[in-house]
Structure 1
Amino acid sequence: MAGNEIRRDPISGYWVILSERRAKRPHQFVTEKVVERDRRCPFCPGNEHMVLETDRLPEKGKWLVKAVKNKYPFVDKLDERTSLPREGVIRDEPFYYHFPSLGYHEVIIDTRKHNKEVFDQGIMSTYRLLEMYKRRMEYMMKNRWIKYVNIFKNKGSQAGASLPHPHSQISAFPFVPERIKKEMRRKCGFCEYIELEKKSPRFVHENDEFIVLSPYAPRFAFEMWVLSKKHKRSILEMGKDELMSLSNLLVQLFKAMKKVLGDFPYNYAIHQAPKGKDFHFHLEIYPKLSIWAGLELGSNIYVNAVCPEDAALFVRDHL
């Protein structure tokens, strides 16, 4: 890419301005010194009385990954006996819809260790985390009112994490987010996208089951997409072998990204099928290397100073 370029994301349709300021070397984030165990941390071993557990792995003995109720949920727990309208409630005014703020919102404590991310601990630790995601999603989807389960992680204060102990979150709603609706098509755009991109300079890595791409129009510098090669609708359709394959790839990918960016702040989100719908499972990683300002917030046009071809090359060289 020579000079500035404006690109449109082929899946969601948003616009990205790729700046000509292409860094020869990305900024390295410094690792913050964090103790292995914090007596004040509600997620650390020994502080189990500070949280309300909903699930754990392994189920007996010392827990290695655990699901707990969110102390400050953005939705109240949705009971099967609750009566909800199908598409929302129309008030007296013609424009306004609302649901009661009901659903699920849990925290997943990724690991016992206060100072070490699960991807730095190896494949089995990562596999247990993915297995917990699957278990909690399965539980939430059994509720007849739930239409979508959202799995995400905030790492670092710049990415919105309120506690340093490695954790992720699962929320479930009686509606489908607009972002997911935009990605849903009669013909799967992601299957076509993989075929187009696997031989492009934005290709990063792959194994038998999954592929990593630096998206064509990334909103974030060093944004990465991890996609299932097969048309899998959600994590619920993945067995042990596939989850192990995904774990192996994520460990390799985060290791390479840390070599490039240091201990970088990030969010990730798992995009998967709403209840009863078709979709293509993928995980999107958003490094938080800059702050969105007026342009992004006011227009949904995003400026990215690192073109995806460069980002793919940097990460690929460290795999």
Structure 2
Amino acid sequence: MTEQTPITNDPVILAPGREQRPNVFAGPPCPFCPGAEDQTPPEIARDGQPWRVRVFPNRYPPTEHAEVIVESASHDDSFDELQPDHAALAVALTFDRYRAIEANYVSIFKNHGRLAGASIPHLHSQLVGTSFVPLRAAREGEAFARAARCPLCDVREHPIIAETENYRWIAPRGSRLAYQQWIVPKAHEHDLAEPRELASLLQWSARAMRGISDSFNWAFTTFPHQPRGHWYAELFPRIAMMAGYELGSGTFINTVDPVDAAKLLSDASNPDRPAPEAFARRGA
């Protein structure tokens, strides 16, 4: 159910049933592991037999349209530990489900670890469809529509962590949170594309963030109704809780200079392994 805030009428999703979500951090069994398929709603899609990636409706949905993408059969995998083709498959299947959900707006996000809001440690992402465009995406869509020039078509003034042929991985100068990152397509695209290269960058980022914190989030902001929009993925490790000033004012205090964050993330992203295919690494 959706309500609105009293003054500005911003949408708020009320989902009391989500209080019943299991806390698998407290111990097994895990409903996402092979052999426990009957503990989830009937699957929507899978890849492989036995499966490598599996999709099913969220048993505790915040809205009518909510899906879970379990990205590995192994309980202990992290996204950066997947083989490159497996990671690309997970991202491609997520994109397929994003396009299939019939909702006004579909959010893609990952909660990894307790501080990031995960209740189940098994590797997974989520899709949530809403009847409204979330406030941030709506405001940014309006900003793109007003702009004389797209602010994301050239992000070279921001510290660049790394890039591929089609994406740049940056630490925005106006980062709201410590070690916040964006992955931005170089081409002006308002909706999702190029999953394989994106998967490589997500793996590098996950590896770097796990060196900073056991918990991290990522989320995609897309503009399906605004052709002048330019989609991006936002990623950040969870190292501090929002306090009274942030919650009360809506203004963030970032304790890490994005230039320093970019260098640390670049150094931490892949200290031992060779770069993924098509990855042209650059210092910040």
Q: What TM-score does the superposition give when structure 1 sets the normalisation length? A: 0.70
Alpha-carbon offset, residue 48 of structure 1: 0.7
- 1:45 and 1:57 map into 2 onto residues whose CA distance is 12
Give 1:209's match in structure 2, choosing from 141, 166, 188. Answer: 166
Partner residue of 1:124?
A: 85
How big is the shift at 1:148?
0.5
Match for residue 267 of structure 2? 317
Aligned residue type for 1:170: L
Alpha carbons 1:154, 1:268 under 8 Å: kept: yes
Q: CA contact under 8 A between 2:145 and 2:226: conserved in structure 1? A: no
- Deviation, 1:226, is 0.3
SS at match of 1:219: coil
Cα offset, 1:50, TM superposition: 0.6
- Counterparts of 2:258 and 2:146 in 1: how far apart (Å)? 25
- Alpha-carbon distance, 1:74 to partner: 1.3
RMSD value over aligned CA atoms? Answer: 2.1
Match among 54, 76, 95 for residue 134 of structure 1? 95
Distance across 1 between alignment mates of 2:148 and 2:120: 37
C-alpha distance in 2 between matches for 1:189 and 1:65: 42
Seen in structure 2, the aligned counterparts of structure 1 residues 174 and 309 have a Cα distance that, compared at 3 Å, is same
One-letter amino acid of the counterpart of residue 205, structure 1: A
Q: 1:264 Cα deviation (Å)?
A: 2.7
The 10-residue stretch of structure 1 (126-135 or 245-254) with the greater mean CA deviation from structure 2: 245-254
Give yes or no for the alignment of 1:47 onto 2:27: no
Q: Indicate the SS of the match to 1:247.
A: helix
Match of 2:120 among 163, 175, 195: 163
Unmatched runs of 5 consecutive residues or more in structure 2: 1-24, 270-284
Asked whether 1:250 is paired with 2:202, we answer: yes
d(CA) in 2 for partners of 1:168, 1:312: 25
Aligned to 1:96: none
Matched, 1:281 2:231: yes
CA contact (8 A) 1:119 1:125 kept: no
1:190-213 C-alpha deviation (Å, 9 max, x unpaired) = 943452x4154x211111000011
What is the match of residue 105 of structure 1? 66
Deviations 1:31-63 (A, max 9, x none): xxx9xxx861100001011112333332x5211
Aligned to 2:62: 74
Does the C-alpha gap of structure 1 residues 188 and 246 become closer, same or farther in structure 2, counting only changes over 3 Å? Answer: farther
Q: 1:169 to 1:188 in 2, by over 3 A?
A: farther
Q: TM-score, normalised by structure 2?
A: 0.79
Is residue 2:156 matched to residue 1:198?
A: yes
Deviation at 1:291, TM superposition (A): 0.6
Structure-2 change in CA distance of 1:212 and 1:251 (3 Å)? same
Q: Deviations over 1:53-112 (max 9, x none)?
A: 333332x52111111111111123xxxxxxxxxxxxxxxxxxxxxxxxxxx011111211
Give the distance between the partners of 1:206 and 1:187, measured in 2 at CA.
28
Matched residue, 1:57: 46
Identity among equivalent pairs (%):
29
Structure number, greater radius of gyration: 1
Larger RCO (CA within 8 A; separation ≥ 6): 1
Cα deviations by residue, 1:232-283 (Å, 9 ceiling, x for unpaired): 1212xx2xxx211111222223223434x1x531111111123465421210
The 3 A distance-change label for structure 1 pair 188 and 212 is farther
Q: Distance in 2 between matches of 1:305 and 1:243?
A: 32
Partner Cα distance (2:137, 2:148) in 1: 13
1:225 deviation in Å? 0.3
- Write the distance in 1 (CA, Å) between the matches of 2:133 and 2:204: 32
How far apart, in 2, do the equivalents of 1:278 and 1:65 lie? 33
- Name the CA distance, whole Å, in 1 between partners of 2:251 and 2:157: 28
In 2: Cα distance, 1:234 partner to 1:136 partner: 13
Alignment of 1:82-93 (within 5 A): none
Gaps of 5+ in 1: 1-33, 77-103
Match of 1:31 in 2: none
Say which of 279, 293, 300 aligns to 2:250.
Answer: 300
